[in-house]
Structure 1
């Protein structure tokens, strides 16, 4: 079962006695846990019915004991258990003794009045462990991995719709370009944009560019995009904007080099028939960043990218040794790059 199916089941009133949420997307895991709470527990009952645990501070047998205890003044309760590393392959460095056998026994006969949600901060569960097998038999295990490029776009568009607005063509892409791929940051910006647009309004690229501040990395990515398209006036203008924000020229050069290095790596791995997801995993990048780097990679030859990286390494040395003015060095690099590109 996936999260979308689980949400449908919950909306229909079908709750599992145990949920295990794992993966790299902590924001979506917390979002699902909050949704479950809103559907399972009445707002006025939450002070008594929602009970948090942290397995780095509390043994798992205490969680089981609470789950088996009849709720007080409420019809049912929700136990939210964080740091559930006992389901993963990593070593448990906690000083507490977790009686996993107690949990395993509970899973054979879970209490009807309790729902337990385990949140596991790991990309994988250890399928070899008996407790993981027991968990899969008794409850619902849901992965929350990094969204793919197209999934992220759909997530943003849905988020805007859920706030009573419509995303104009290109608005989702513009928002990700400005705010990055972090779901928490995107959520905050969607709240702001939809408040600005008003109920039933439209979020367009103009609003995004006016209201959403770009981070340094997002600005450098756009600067490289302008260079790739030979729009040198815009690229130099963006450089001066970064300098006005008191960004260190050496840092800007390093970020430009990082982006060109990513473009080269994506180009090389794509040539070896790696998929977008495989490249993202190999390089430790978000799939959306890989998608954009792939688009930029088509504008350069591999040999040209290596020459650019060599020039940036030389520029870094000259800037750090004082052999060239830092700002002048960056401007000359951009102009030479534009002059050296084939038509």
Structure 2
């Protein structure tokens, strides 16, 4: 998040660059960055004539540079936004690739752009929106970093995502109950694009209510497959075979392949096993996320679920899951009957917890 805060600070203090290169997986903030730059460079409706968006895969570089050196209408500044900017991809992924992979010698269009960078127009700002990945080894990347600003829009950390959700709720006159932000992230993922859609749905859903709760999240935000796996393992821990199979059936209806379901359940069991061992070694529940390398919300689930099983049960379950996986893949066992038998076997061992 700091990269975005620094950009906003620069803009507020009147520091602009003739060239920006925006890249990385956080597309929501990339779009927001373009909007902020536009508002600062072209205030008061000046964008009608001096704001141009170009598809970098369709427009010729010579045409782009002609627009860059052209004087803006009615004085002021001109802003060019180049989407799908092909200049920054590796040779292997570039649409107009030539030469062998790893050859980063600038050629053709890149050379034209590098020449422009030696003396960019003071009246024009160019924003290259390069998508998720760029090749930092390329000379064009180094030149833009020298003359302008290259910003990587990486995915935000969980604490930043939670703070962002809280802010969006407050803007709408709402608040999030404790633990709710983590639940939204666990279900919707870690991109602001998906989180934006979910928090807006939740704000509409609660109507006149002021607090968004975990129950609201469960009602509105679809669970990801991992949430269904939590439900399955919770049900097994409570010896509720019917509810566990209901969760498996939901995953099948979501068109999750049997090997994927088996793999997810086995991963969950292994995490529970590791969580139990970590807690016995003196780690606290709050430290589990770091120890296991998982989301804190998931870590809390593990800390709770490990109380329902002992080591022998968990190891046996992993062995049986791998055995069923082999049988299903070889065609010697149908997935659903095999999974039902495995779940029933785990649930009937009521006295095997300790």
- Scaled by the length of structure 2, what TM-score is found? 0.74
- Give the deviation of 1:69 after TM superposition: 0.9
Q: Per the alignment, do residues 65 and 293 of structure 1 end up closer, same or farther by CA in structure 2, a change over 3 Å counting?
A: farther
Please say if residues 179 and 218 of structure 1, whose CA atoms lie closer than 8 Å, have aligned partners that are also in contact: no
Aligned residue number for residue 116 of structure 1: 126
Q: Which runs of 4+ in 1 moved over 6 A?
A: 275-280, 300-304, 320-325
Structure-1 separation of matches of 2:25 and 2:346: 38
State the SS of the aligned residue for 1:213. coil
Selected match of 1:331 from 322, 325, 340:
340
Q: What is the CA deviation profile of residues 90-141 of structure 1, one whole-angstrom value per residue up to 9, with x for unaligned ones?
A: 4333179743233223223322322211122344542x43322221121112
The answer (yes or no) to whether the contact 1:52–1:79 under 8 Å persists in 2 is yes
Give the TM-score of the pair, scaled to structure 1: 0.76
Q: 1:200, CA displacement in angstroms?
A: 9.0
Distance 1:320 1:138 in 2: 56
Change (3 A) 1:259 1:15: farther
Q: Which residue of 1 aligns with 2:168?
A: 159
Equivalent residue, structure 2, for 1:52: 53
Q: Which residue number in structure 2 is paired with residue 75 of structure 1?
A: 76
Provide the aligned length of Structure 1 versus Structure 2: 328
Confirm whether residue 129 of structure 1 aligns to residue 138 of structure 2: yes
Provide, for residues 173-214 of structure 1, a one-character-per-residue CA deviation record: whole Å limited to 9, x for no partner: 121233233432221111121233458932221222222232
Does residue 1:94 correspond to 2:83, yes or no? no
RMSD of the TM alignment (CA)? Answer: 4.1
The Cα offsets for residues 210-265 of structure 1, whole Å up to 9 and x where unpaired, read as: 222324x144233255258x2343x7426426637871798366324235337748
Aligned partner (choices 223, 230, 248) of residue 231 of structure 2: 223
| Distance in 2, Cα, partners of 1:278 & 1:210 | 31
Deviates more, 1:151-160 or 1:1-10: 151-160
Larger Rg over CA atoms: 2
Matching of residues 7-22 of structure 1 within 5 Å: 7-22=8-23
Q: 1:104 to 1:294 in 2, by over 3 A?
A: farther
Map 1:1-343 to 2 at 5 A.
2-42=3-43, 44-73=45-74, 75-91=76-92, 92-94=94-96, 98-123=108-133, 125-126=135-136, 128-197=137-206, 201-215=210-224, 217-224=225-232, 226=234, 230-233=237-240, 236-237=242-243, 239-240=245-246, 243=249, 247=253, 251=257, 254-261=260-267, 264=270, 288=295, 292=298, 296=302, 299=306, 307-316=316-325, 326-338=335-347, 339=349, 342-343=353-354
Secondary structure at the counterpart of residue 80 of structure 1: strand
Counterparts in 2 of 1:38 and 1:219: CA distance versus 1, 3 Å:
same
Alpha-carbon separation, structure 2, partners of 1:83 and 1:278: 39
SS where residue 2 of structure 1 aligns? Answer: helix
Q: Answer yes or no: is the 8 Å Cα contact 1:174–1:205 preserved in 2.
A: yes
What are structure 1's unaligned runs of at least 5 residues? 281-286
| C-alpha distance 201-311 of structure 1, shift in aligned 2 (>3 A) | same
- Give how far 1:328 is off: 4.5
| Cα distance change of structure 1 residues 313 and 95 upon mapping to structure 2, 3 Å threshold | closer
C-alpha distance 123-99 of structure 1, shift in aligned 2 (>3 A): closer
User: Distance in 2 between the 1:93 and 1:279 partners?
Assistant: 40
The separation in 2 between residues aligned to 1:301 and 1:64, in whole angstroms, is 67
> Quick one: distance in 2 between partners of 1:291 and 1:212?
16
Say if 1:236 and 1:334, in contact at 8 Å, map to a contact too: no
Pairwise CA distance, 1:293:
6.2
Structure 2 equivalent of residue 284 of structure 1: none
